[in-house]
Amino acid sequence: MLRFLRILVTALTATMLGGLIILIYLFVTRFPQPTPVLALPDSIALPGGTSATAFTRGPDWLAVVVGNEILIFDSTGQTLRQRIAIGE
Protein backbone atom coordinates (compact mmCIF):
# COMPACT_ATOMS: atom_id res chain seq x y z
CA MET A 1 0.00 0.00 0.00
CA LEU A 2 2.87 2.37 0.78
CA ARG A 3 4.39 1.75 -2.65
CA PHE A 4 1.06 2.70 -4.36
CA LEU A 5 0.88 5.92 -2.30
CA ARG A 6 4.46 6.82 -3.28
CA ILE A 7 3.58 6.35 -6.98
CA LEU A 8 0.50 8.57 -6.59
CA VAL A 9 2.51 11.33 -4.87
CA THR A 10 5.18 11.16 -7.58
CA ALA A 11 2.53 11.32 -10.33
CA LEU A 12 0.84 14.29 -8.63
CA THR A 13 4.17 16.12 -8.33
CA ALA A 14 4.98 15.50 -12.00
CA THR A 15 1.49 16.69 -13.01
CA MET A 16 1.80 19.88 -10.94
CA LEU A 17 5.25 20.67 -12.36
CA GLY A 18 4.00 20.05 -15.91
CA GLY A 19 1.01 22.32 -15.31
CA LEU A 20 3.22 25.05 -13.88
CA ILE A 21 5.51 24.90 -16.89
CA ILE A 22 2.50 25.10 -19.23
CA LEU A 23 1.09 28.10 -17.34
CA ILE A 24 4.40 29.95 -17.50
CA TYR A 25 4.67 29.21 -21.21
CA LEU A 26 1.13 30.49 -21.85
CA PHE A 27 1.73 33.69 -19.85
CA VAL A 28 4.90 34.43 -21.79
CA THR A 29 3.46 33.72 -25.25
CA ARG A 30 -0.07 35.11 -24.82
CA PHE A 31 0.63 38.53 -23.31
CA PRO A 32 0.35 41.19 -26.01
CA GLN A 33 3.40 43.07 -27.13
CA PRO A 34 3.64 46.67 -25.88
CA THR A 35 1.85 49.14 -28.12
CA PRO A 36 3.97 51.80 -29.77
CA VAL A 37 3.85 55.23 -28.16
CA LEU A 38 2.32 57.93 -30.34
CA ALA A 39 4.53 60.95 -30.87
CA LEU A 40 3.20 64.24 -29.56
CA PRO A 41 4.01 67.66 -31.02
CA ASP A 42 6.40 69.92 -29.10
CA SER A 43 3.80 72.69 -28.93
CA ILE A 44 0.18 73.35 -29.84
CA ALA A 45 -0.88 76.73 -31.25
CA LEU A 46 -3.65 77.75 -28.82
CA PRO A 47 -5.52 81.03 -29.37
CA GLY A 48 -4.09 83.94 -27.39
CA GLY A 49 -4.93 84.19 -23.70
CA THR A 50 -6.24 80.64 -23.36
CA SER A 51 -4.93 77.69 -21.42
CA ALA A 52 -5.68 74.01 -21.90
CA THR A 53 -7.67 72.09 -19.28
CA ALA A 54 -7.75 68.72 -21.08
CA PHE A 55 -6.10 67.04 -24.05
CA THR A 56 -6.69 63.92 -26.13
CA ARG A 57 -5.30 62.48 -29.32
CA GLY A 58 -6.83 60.62 -32.25
CA PRO A 59 -5.11 58.93 -35.19
CA ASP A 60 -4.69 62.18 -37.15
CA TRP A 61 -6.02 64.90 -34.84
CA LEU A 62 -5.52 66.49 -31.42
CA ALA A 63 -8.33 67.83 -29.21
CA VAL A 64 -7.79 70.47 -26.54
CA VAL A 65 -10.45 71.67 -24.11
CA VAL A 66 -10.15 75.42 -23.57
CA GLY A 67 -12.77 77.03 -21.33
CA ASN A 68 -16.14 76.21 -22.90
CA GLU A 69 -14.75 75.05 -26.24
CA ILE A 70 -13.09 72.00 -27.71
CA LEU A 71 -10.45 72.85 -30.28
CA ILE A 72 -9.62 70.18 -32.87
CA PHE A 73 -6.15 70.51 -34.42
CA ASP A 74 -4.31 68.52 -37.07
CA SER A 75 -1.71 66.00 -35.91
CA THR A 76 1.04 68.64 -35.87
CA GLY A 77 -0.90 70.86 -33.46
CA GLN A 78 -0.48 73.96 -35.63
CA THR A 79 -3.60 74.04 -37.84
CA LEU A 80 -7.00 74.50 -36.18
CA ARG A 81 -9.56 72.26 -37.92
CA GLN A 82 -12.71 72.82 -35.88
CA ARG A 83 -14.10 74.64 -32.83
CA ILE A 84 -16.88 72.96 -30.85
CA ALA A 85 -18.78 75.00 -28.27
CA ILE A 86 -19.65 73.21 -25.04
CA GLY A 87 -23.03 74.21 -23.60
CA GLU A 88 -23.20 75.43 -20.03
Cite the beta strand spans of the chain per DSSP E.
54-57, 61-66, 69-74, 80-85
* pLDDT at residue 65 is higher than 90: yes
User: pLDDT tens-digit profile of 25-60?
Assistant: 998 888 877 777 777 888 888 888 888 999 999 888
Across the chain, what does the average pLDDT equal?
89
